[in-house]
Amino acid sequence: MDGKIIAIVIVIALIFLFLLKCICIVGQASGWVVECLGQYMNTWEAGLHFKVPFLYRVVKKVSLKEQVADFEPQPVITKDNVTMMVDSVVFFEVFDAKLFAYGVERPIAAIENLSATTLRNIIGSMTLDETLTSRDGINGQITAILDEATDKWGIKVNRVEVKNIQPPRSIQDAMEKQMRAEREKREAILTAEGKKQSAITLAEGEKEAAILRAEAVKQQRIREAEGEAEALLAVQRAQAESIKLINEADPSLKYIQLKQYETAEKMADGQATKIIVPSDIANLTGAVGALVDSVRQ
């Protein structure tokens, strides 16, 4: 009885192991290439699948995710015979697991060799300066060529990036000297331009200041002249008013004689060393009085 139970347990265990061997679970973003008796049968996608032992065989498990292949630097010769090291990075994904399994032996190595050959052909038709300044163009050309060539392998090349371009050390030294000279040239130009602008600004400032000073002097002189004119006009008006008032007041002869004496006194206060007084000043006074009388009449 114990032997039968052990035998049953063994049979059940073998059946369980057989079932486990037959059940296959394919993960997400994966594809399994299955053959039946050595011939391609199907590509299993994500999910649960049943495999018949000894008939079905999984020949390749393929990842359908986007992958990155970073290749070693490759020696490349430019159009002007400059040898430099160029390394690239290829971003690709498998869109057909069957073609990927049967299209080419060692697909990654095939992509690497194809990338290196294409890179040499493209850069070989360009000069060093063009190579250093045309990375986007190089990336686009390599991507288009690789994508077209790898379609029959079930591979989609999304993009290719030239990661690094390393010219010879002598070329790098020459380029550094050129860049240093260019920077010094730009610095000298900027310095000279700054001095020029400073001198122009200073000259314009002095010009504006001179114009403002001249305008200020002009305005001052105009105001002084206007003030003198107004003062002179006020004096003349005052004198005219004074004469008018005197005439209206009908001055007497004695007042006129008194004014003559005041005039003579002012003359005596002047700088003249000699004063000539008419001997007939009294007669002159009489004549002035007669003149006043005639004016009154």
pLDDT tens digits for range 73-115 = 888 888 888 888 888 899 999 999 999 999 888 888 999 999 9
Judge whether residue 294 has pLDDT over 60.
no
pLDDT tens digits for range 16-35 = 677 677 888 888 889 999 99
The pair of three-digit structure tokens given for residue 50, joined into one six-digit string: 């049943």
117 in helix, strand or coil? helix
79 in helix, strand or coil? coil
Assessment of whether the complete model's pTM goes beyond 0.85:
no
pLDDT tens digits for range 103-154 = 888 888 999 999 989 998 998 888 888 888 888 889 999 999 999 999 999 9
